Structure formats: C-alpha cells, structure tokens
Structure 1
Amino acid sequence: MQFEQVKEKIIACFQGLEGNQSVCVSTPDGELTHHEDQPVSSASIIKIAIMLEALRQVDRSALTLDQVVEIEDVNRVEGAGVIYHLGKELEWRLTDLIHLMIISSDNTATNQLIDLVGIANINHTMKGAGAFHSKLMRKMMDREAVKAGKDNMMSGKDTYLLLNQLVEQHLLSNSSMKWAIDVLLQQQFKDKFTSKISTLKKNTLAHKTGELAGVEHDAGILFTSRGPVIYAFLTAGLLENRYGRDAIANAGRLLYDFYKED
C-alpha cells in the first residue's frame, strides 16, 4: 500500500464523526492533515505544554527535577490521578509530579505544576513553538471557569508542533528532550491509538491521551526505522465517546501497520 492510500484511509476514519476533529500527522513520507488548525477543548493534551515549560525552567536552572514541591490544598482535585486519594504528609519531587501528570494524567499534580511554572509562561512557550491556536486558560477540574467560558484549547497542528520540540532541538536541551520522551513512553492509558494493535514493540510509542465528555484525544511520537512519525488525533463534540476512541484506534492501526518492521 502506498502512503497516499494510507493517508486517505486515515482521514476517512475522522470524516464521518460529528463535532470537530483536528488531525495532523508528520511522517517520513509526508504530512497528513484534516482541519489541523481547528482548536478544540484540549482535555489532558495540554499537559504536554506544561511539561515543556517545566523542563525549560529546569534547563535555565530556575527549577531542578529533584526539588521537593509542596501540594497546596487548593490544587487537590478529583478526576484522573492518585495524589488526591493519598496522604497529605507525602513528599513529592518535581520529577514525580511530571511523571504522574503525563503517565496517569494526575490532575492534582497538573494544577500544582501550573502554579509552579505559571500560566503565562506555559502560553508563551506554546507560542514559541509556533502553537498560535492553543491556550491554557484554566486549571484542571475548574468547572466554574468552564461555565464562564474559559476552556483550554489546542489544535492538531499545534499539538504536533509541541511534540516536534522533542525530536528537533529548539526550546529544550538535548537531555530534557530525551527525558520527556522517556516519560511519554511510560504512558499508562492505552485505550485509543494502541487498542487495535496486538503487539506494540517496547519503546516504540511516546504519547499522551486526553478525554472529557464528548472529547477523545491521542497524540504522540511513533518511532520507526525510517524516522519518527508525529501524530495528533483530536476529536471533540462527540455524541458518544466510543466513536472517537474507535476512530483513533482505526487510524492508529493504519499508521502503525504502514511503518512497522516486517
């Protein structure tokens, strides 16, 4: 099968969905896009940007990965993650909070990191990567902010641009790029891109997922023998979440099968 054929099949996975989809894929054979500049509710995909800004501050020696970060009560929220359910006397390092934010999408860790690195700095870093259609406007589980019309937004193209910072050195040091990829490789949520792939080779997929009611996202870097494949599959406005998960799973299987080694 030729790349153009795979490209058409992947785009077709999203064309039948209701709501808004924003898809951007960069491969060694070319790009694949579908409404790539359409901003949608980011769900937990925005946590990629928070990690980038935290690591930028580590590179500048403003922070260290081993420093202890106190979790403030105001930042303890429910939803994804485990910190909310654990004892307040526990001690957390910056490295722990970033890992939990990415691999288990911990909302409490995320909110504390937002306070630590600053919303304005996170948005500045996104713009520095060329992500002009994306913005962090609220913390996780802030329902009042959502009611007031404040939501975190990202587009498929912007998500690609942020992930591209981990393979092309621009905003981060080489060591921070490798560290971030290692964290993304430990992703625990596997119900979208990987769900229809029977055997995924270890250290092949570094990714982040996100979901809310009517929203399903998966974005990451697929490492192949021909070079990295960076993808962002964002779906929003879904009648039922399972439709978005299924579209991403079908697209992921097509992309993986095209680049897997025989």
Structure 2
Amino acid sequence: MAISFNEVSQEIEDILKSLDKQLQLSFYLSNSENCFSFHGNRVMPSASLIKLMIADYYCSNFSLADLQKQTQKISQGVGGSGVIQILDQKVLSLPDLISMMLSLSDNTAANTLIDIVGLNSLSVWIKGHYSATSLSRKFMDFSQKKDNLTDANDAAHALRRLIEFPLTKRALLKQQSTNKFELNFVESNNQKIYFYNKTG
C-alpha cells in the first residue's frame, strides 16, 4: 500500500519533535509537488555545506567550457578534509577543484576557489542568492571569530540547483562508491534509487 507524502512527513515530524529537546537539528524533504521542513530556517554553523553555494557560484556564472579553460596554481594547502595537500600536482583546472571540493570536501580546493573570486565578492553573491547563508571565513581559518552559517532550506535549494549542472551532478552522485549507495527497494518495484550527497 502506497503511503502519501503527508503521511511520511507527519511520521518524520513526530520523530523529530521527540528528539528536538536533546538535539539541535534541521530537516528538509521535498518532491516535485510537496515540501516538508522541520526547523528549515534555523541558522547553524555550516561546516562544509557552504561549499554547495561556492560551487553554485561557479556553475551559475561560467559555462563548463569556460571553467575547463582555466587552471589555478595551489599556493597554500590547509588541513582537514581533502587530498590536494598530498598531491604532487599543484596546478588544477577549475572543474577539478569544484569536483574535489564537493566529492572529497577538500578544504584547499574550496579556499582556492574562494581566493579566485575574493571572499567579500563571493560572500555578497551567496547572500544575494541564499538569504540565510553567510560566508565569513575560509576553511580551517580559526583566526576569524565569525563562522560560516546556513540553514537547511538554503542547503536543499543549493543541492537542487547543483544537480542541474552536469559537473556538480556527477560530483555529488559519484562521490560514494556505486556499491555503497545504489540500492533497489521492493516497495518501489525495483526502481533504481540515486543518492546525491555532500560529504563532510
């Protein structure tokens, strides 16, 4: 028996309400016709989610061909997530930087993409497109007192936008091994389910 979106939403809301006093959490669920949000506008430190908005800036303002023509020398690596700091190659294309930022949550790639535009200019663009999101510092820069902030509604909006661009769609889909997330469900008549995910 099929269950409606509203029934699923109500069950999820009941579970989240029972946890709400112990956890600070937000939740967003939508399909083409419906949307359910629990504390979707609760602004929280973004950790790596703001990398979605950085990728959106590049994909919205440049064609894939334009991005492929540009390379960038990596001047300073930072710790945390990513692999660039251990690579010998220090000149990378912008699509490679975007893919590493999304699929590996690479902080050096993200900081390099911030440096290309400039923190202030990128912050203004992001605020103009994602009202609850603030890019205030580069990744792993703990000298800054302000933190990067976003909410679940903005993150979901960015994710929906990024799966419209081939470059970022591939990075978000292929960042997990195929065997880990490619599932079939009896309830869905063995239809294949695709997961688009941002690590970190």
Q: What range is the shorter-chain TM-score in? A: 0.7 to 0.9
Q: Could you say what the CA RMSD is over the residues aligned between the two structures, in angstroms?
A: 2.9
Contact 1:49 1:122 (C-alpha < 8 Å) held by counterparts: no
| SS class of match (1:43) | coil
Report which of the two has the higher share of strand.
1
Contact 1:104 1:188 (C-alpha < 8 Å) held by counterparts: no
Unaligned runs of 5+ residues in structure 1 are 168-173, 211-262
| SS class of match (1:25) | strand
Listed one character per residue, the Cα deviations across residues 50-99 of structure 1 (whole Å, up to 9, x for unaligned) are 111122332398x52242210012xx111111111223x54311111111
Q: How much has 1:202 moved relative to structure 2?
A: 6.7
Candidates 24, 27, 42, aligned match of 1:23:
27
| SS class of match (1:65) | helix
CA gap of 1:64–1:125, structure 2 versus 1, over 3 A, is same
TM-score, with normalisation over the residues of structure 1? 0.63
Contact 1:53 1:121 (C-alpha < 8 Å) held by counterparts: no
Which structure ranks higher in relative contact order (CA pairs < 8 Å, sequence separation ≥ 6)? 1
Unaligned runs of 5+ residues in structure 2 are 185-190
TM alignment of 1:63-78, pairs within 5 A:
64-73=67-76, 76-78=77-79
Give the aligned partner of residue 114 of structure 2.
114
TM alignment of 1:144-183, pairs within 5 A:
144-145=143-144, 148=145, 150-166=146-162, 177-183=165-171
| Aligned counterparts of 2:35 and 2:74: Cα–Cα separation in 1 | 41
Report which of the two has the higher share of helix.
2
TM-score, with normalisation over the residues of structure 2? 0.81
Give the aligned partner of residue 101 of structure 2.
101
Give the aligned partner of residue 208 of structure 1.
198
Residue correspondences, number:
190
Q: How much has 1:13 moved relative to structure 2?
A: 4.1
| SS class of match (1:206) | coil
Give the fraction of aligned pairs with identical amino acids, expressed as a percent.
Answer: 30
CA gap of 1:127–1:59, structure 2 versus 1, over 3 A, is farther
